[in-house]
Amino acid sequence: MKEKQLKFETAPRMSADERKNQILRIAIDLFSKKGFKGTTTKEIAQIAGISEAMLFKHFASKDELYAAMLDYKSCQAGIEETFASLEEAIEKGADDEEIFYGLILKALRYHESDQEFLRLLLHSALEGHEFSELFVTRKIAPIYELLGKYIEKRQKEGVFRDDVNARLIVRAFLGMMVHHSMNKILWDSGQRLLQVSDEEAARSFSDILLNGIRNKEVGQ
Protein backbone atom coordinates (compact mmCIF):
# COMPACT_ATOMS: atom_id res chain seq x y z
CA MET A 1 0.00 0.00 0.00
CA LYS A 2 1.35 3.34 -1.03
CA GLU A 3 2.13 5.57 1.93
CA LYS A 4 0.08 8.77 2.01
CA GLN A 5 2.20 11.88 1.61
CA LEU A 6 1.97 14.65 4.17
CA LYS A 7 0.23 17.74 2.91
CA PHE A 8 3.21 20.03 3.48
CA GLU A 9 5.37 17.90 1.16
CA THR A 10 3.32 18.96 -1.86
CA ALA A 11 2.81 22.61 -0.89
CA PRO A 12 3.39 25.09 -3.73
CA ARG A 13 6.49 27.20 -3.48
CA MET A 14 5.88 30.76 -2.36
CA SER A 15 7.98 33.77 -1.52
CA ALA A 16 8.50 34.44 2.19
CA ASP A 17 5.96 37.28 2.16
CA GLU A 18 3.39 35.23 0.28
CA ARG A 19 3.79 32.35 2.74
CA LYS A 20 3.49 34.65 5.76
CA ASN A 21 0.30 36.20 4.38
CA GLN A 22 -1.10 32.75 3.64
CA ILE A 23 -0.42 31.64 7.21
CA LEU A 24 -2.03 34.80 8.57
CA ARG A 25 -5.17 34.37 6.46
CA ILE A 26 -5.54 30.75 7.56
CA ALA A 27 -4.90 31.57 11.23
CA ILE A 28 -7.41 34.41 11.23
CA ASP A 29 -10.03 32.25 9.52
CA LEU A 30 -9.60 29.41 12.02
CA PHE A 31 -9.44 31.60 15.12
CA SER A 32 -12.55 33.54 14.04
CA LYS A 33 -14.51 30.29 13.53
CA LYS A 34 -13.17 27.99 16.25
CA GLY A 35 -11.72 30.40 18.78
CA PHE A 36 -8.18 30.50 20.12
CA LYS A 37 -8.62 27.49 22.39
CA GLY A 38 -10.04 25.41 19.55
CA THR A 39 -7.21 26.11 17.10
CA THR A 40 -3.62 24.87 17.18
CA THR A 41 -0.54 25.98 15.27
CA LYS A 42 -0.26 22.41 14.02
CA GLU A 43 -3.69 22.70 12.39
CA ILE A 44 -2.77 26.07 10.85
CA ALA A 45 0.42 24.56 9.42
CA GLN A 46 -1.39 21.53 8.00
CA ILE A 47 -3.94 23.65 6.17
CA ALA A 48 -1.14 25.87 4.86
CA GLY A 49 0.59 22.74 3.57
CA ILE A 50 3.74 23.23 5.63
CA SER A 51 5.27 21.74 8.74
CA GLU A 52 4.71 23.31 12.14
CA ALA A 53 8.46 23.92 12.30
CA MET A 54 8.23 25.92 9.07
CA LEU A 55 5.40 27.99 10.53
CA PHE A 56 7.63 28.96 13.44
CA LYS A 57 10.37 29.96 11.02
CA HIS A 58 8.01 32.63 9.74
CA PHE A 59 6.64 33.53 13.18
CA ALA A 60 9.12 32.79 15.95
CA SER A 61 6.42 32.62 18.64
CA LYS A 62 2.67 32.66 19.09
CA ASP A 63 2.94 36.24 20.35
CA GLU A 64 4.61 37.22 17.09
CA LEU A 65 1.84 35.50 15.15
CA TYR A 66 -0.87 37.31 17.13
CA ALA A 67 0.81 40.69 16.61
CA ALA A 68 1.13 40.01 12.88
CA MET A 69 -2.56 39.02 12.70
CA LEU A 70 -3.54 42.30 14.34
CA ASP A 71 -1.35 44.33 11.99
CA TYR A 72 -2.73 42.42 8.98
CA LYS A 73 -6.34 43.06 9.94
CA SER A 74 -5.64 46.65 10.97
CA CYS A 75 -4.11 47.28 7.57
CA GLN A 76 -7.19 45.84 5.86
CA ALA A 77 -9.43 47.98 8.05
CA GLY A 78 -7.41 51.10 7.33
CA ILE A 79 -7.13 51.86 11.03
CA GLU A 80 -3.89 53.81 10.74
CA GLU A 81 -5.27 55.83 7.81
CA THR A 82 -8.40 56.53 9.86
CA PHE A 83 -6.29 57.83 12.75
CA ALA A 84 -4.32 60.02 10.34
CA SER A 85 -7.46 61.45 8.72
CA LEU A 86 -9.03 62.03 12.15
CA GLU A 87 -5.96 63.90 13.36
CA GLU A 88 -5.97 65.95 10.17
CA ALA A 89 -9.66 66.80 10.56
CA ILE A 90 -9.09 67.93 14.14
CA GLU A 91 -6.05 70.01 13.22
CA LYS A 92 -7.84 71.79 10.38
CA GLY A 93 -10.76 72.62 12.67
CA ALA A 94 -13.44 70.43 11.11
CA ASP A 95 -16.83 70.71 12.79
CA ASP A 96 -17.92 68.17 15.38
CA GLU A 97 -20.50 66.59 13.08
CA GLU A 98 -17.92 65.92 10.39
CA ILE A 99 -15.51 64.32 12.85
CA PHE A 100 -17.94 62.00 14.64
CA TYR A 101 -20.10 61.17 11.62
CA GLY A 102 -17.07 60.34 9.48
CA LEU A 103 -15.51 58.12 12.11
CA ILE A 104 -18.71 56.16 12.77
CA LEU A 105 -19.45 55.68 9.07
CA LYS A 106 -15.99 54.30 8.32
CA ALA A 107 -16.23 51.88 11.23
CA LEU A 108 -19.73 50.63 10.34
CA ARG A 109 -18.76 50.06 6.73
CA TYR A 110 -15.68 48.12 7.70
CA HIS A 111 -17.51 45.98 10.26
CA GLU A 112 -20.01 45.01 7.59
CA SER A 113 -17.39 44.29 4.93
CA ASP A 114 -15.17 42.20 7.22
CA GLN A 115 -17.25 40.41 9.83
CA GLU A 116 -14.38 38.01 10.47
CA PHE A 117 -12.43 40.59 12.48
CA LEU A 118 -15.35 41.23 14.84
CA ARG A 119 -15.79 37.50 15.44
CA LEU A 120 -12.06 37.16 16.06
CA LEU A 121 -12.16 39.90 18.68
CA LEU A 122 -15.22 38.42 20.37
CA HIS A 123 -13.59 34.99 20.63
CA SER A 124 -10.45 36.51 22.14
CA ALA A 125 -12.46 38.55 24.65
CA LEU A 126 -14.68 35.67 25.74
CA GLU A 127 -11.69 33.36 26.17
CA GLY A 128 -9.63 35.99 27.98
CA HIS A 129 -6.99 35.56 25.30
CA GLU A 130 -3.98 37.85 25.02
CA PHE A 131 -5.04 38.91 21.52
CA SER A 132 -7.84 40.91 23.14
CA GLU A 133 -5.41 42.79 25.38
CA LEU A 134 -3.12 43.38 22.42
CA PHE A 135 -5.99 44.90 20.46
CA VAL A 136 -7.03 47.16 23.32
CA THR A 137 -3.49 48.35 23.99
CA ARG A 138 -2.46 48.97 20.40
CA LYS A 139 -5.70 50.03 18.70
CA ILE A 140 -8.39 51.04 21.21
CA ALA A 141 -6.24 52.98 23.67
CA PRO A 142 -5.09 55.43 20.95
CA ILE A 143 -8.74 56.15 20.09
CA TYR A 144 -9.47 56.98 23.73
CA GLU A 145 -6.39 59.19 23.82
CA LEU A 146 -7.08 61.09 20.61
CA LEU A 147 -10.84 61.52 20.97
CA GLY A 148 -10.54 62.11 24.72
CA LYS A 149 -8.14 65.03 24.18
CA TYR A 150 -10.37 66.47 21.47
CA ILE A 151 -13.43 66.31 23.73
CA GLU A 152 -11.49 67.87 26.61
CA LYS A 153 -10.42 70.69 24.28
CA ARG A 154 -14.04 71.34 23.31
CA GLN A 155 -15.02 71.26 26.98
CA LYS A 156 -12.42 73.91 27.79
CA GLU A 157 -13.75 75.99 24.91
CA GLY A 158 -17.19 75.80 26.49
CA VAL A 159 -18.75 73.97 23.57
CA PHE A 160 -19.15 70.60 25.31
CA ARG A 161 -20.45 70.11 28.83
CA ASP A 162 -17.61 69.83 31.32
CA ASP A 163 -19.57 67.81 33.89
CA VAL A 164 -19.05 64.55 32.02
CA ASN A 165 -15.80 62.58 31.95
CA ALA A 166 -14.34 62.84 28.44
CA ARG A 167 -13.45 59.16 28.35
CA LEU A 168 -17.00 58.20 29.30
CA ILE A 169 -18.13 60.15 26.27
CA VAL A 170 -15.66 58.20 24.13
CA ARG A 171 -17.01 54.95 25.58
CA ALA A 172 -20.61 55.97 24.87
CA PHE A 173 -19.61 56.88 21.32
CA LEU A 174 -17.84 53.57 20.68
CA GLY A 175 -20.62 51.68 22.46
CA MET A 176 -23.34 52.87 20.11
CA MET A 177 -21.22 52.03 17.09
CA VAL A 178 -20.07 48.59 18.20
CA HIS A 179 -23.44 47.49 19.58
CA HIS A 180 -25.13 48.43 16.30
CA SER A 181 -22.59 46.42 14.31
CA MET A 182 -22.91 43.40 16.60
CA ASN A 183 -26.70 43.45 16.26
CA LYS A 184 -26.53 43.75 12.49
CA ILE A 185 -23.88 41.04 12.09
CA LEU A 186 -24.49 38.55 14.90
CA TRP A 187 -28.01 38.78 16.30
CA ASP A 188 -30.25 40.49 13.77
CA SER A 189 -28.65 39.83 10.40
CA GLY A 190 -32.11 39.78 8.82
CA GLN A 191 -32.69 43.31 10.21
CA ARG A 192 -36.06 42.41 11.69
CA LEU A 193 -35.55 44.83 14.57
CA LEU A 194 -34.18 47.71 12.54
CA GLN A 195 -33.59 48.41 8.88
CA VAL A 196 -31.30 51.37 8.46
CA SER A 197 -28.44 52.36 6.15
CA ASP A 198 -24.95 52.89 7.50
CA GLU A 199 -25.23 56.56 6.56
CA GLU A 200 -28.46 57.05 8.52
CA ALA A 201 -27.11 55.15 11.52
CA ALA A 202 -23.88 57.19 11.53
CA ARG A 203 -25.78 60.47 11.27
CA SER A 204 -28.24 59.53 14.00
CA PHE A 205 -25.57 58.29 16.40
CA SER A 206 -23.44 61.41 15.94
CA ASP A 207 -26.50 63.63 16.45
CA ILE A 208 -27.54 61.74 19.59
CA LEU A 209 -24.05 62.03 21.02
CA LEU A 210 -23.51 65.69 20.19
CA ASN A 211 -26.97 66.77 21.35
CA GLY A 212 -26.24 65.09 24.67
CA ILE A 213 -22.83 66.64 25.32
CA ARG A 214 -23.15 70.12 23.88
CA ASN A 215 -23.37 72.99 26.33
CA LYS A 216 -26.88 74.30 25.73
CA GLU A 217 -26.07 77.66 27.35
CA VAL A 218 -23.29 78.34 24.87
CA GLY A 219 -24.70 76.60 21.79
CA GLN A 220 -22.45 75.52 19.00
Kindly report, residue by residue over 50-95, the tens digit of the pLDDT.
999 999 999 998 889 999 998 888 887 777 777 788 888 888 888 9
Asked if the domains 7-60 and 77-213 are classified in one and the same CATH topology, the answer is no
Kindly report, residue by residue over 31-50, the tens digit of the pLDDT.
999 998 899 999 999 999 99
pTM equals 0.79
Q: Domain spans of the chain?
A: 7-60, 77-213
Domain boundaries 7-60, corresponding CATH code: 1.10.10.60
Average pLDDT, the chain: 86
Core vs surface per residue 183-197: b (16+ CB within 10 A) or e: ebeeeeeeeeeeeee
> Options 3.40.50.10070, 1.10.357.10, 3.90.1150.10, 3.30.70.3270; which CATH number does 77-213 get?
1.10.357.10
Kindly report, residue by residue over 148-205, the tens digit of the pLDDT.
999 999 999 999 999 999 999 999 999 998 899 888 888 888 888 888 899 999 999 9
Residues in a beta bridge with 160: 214
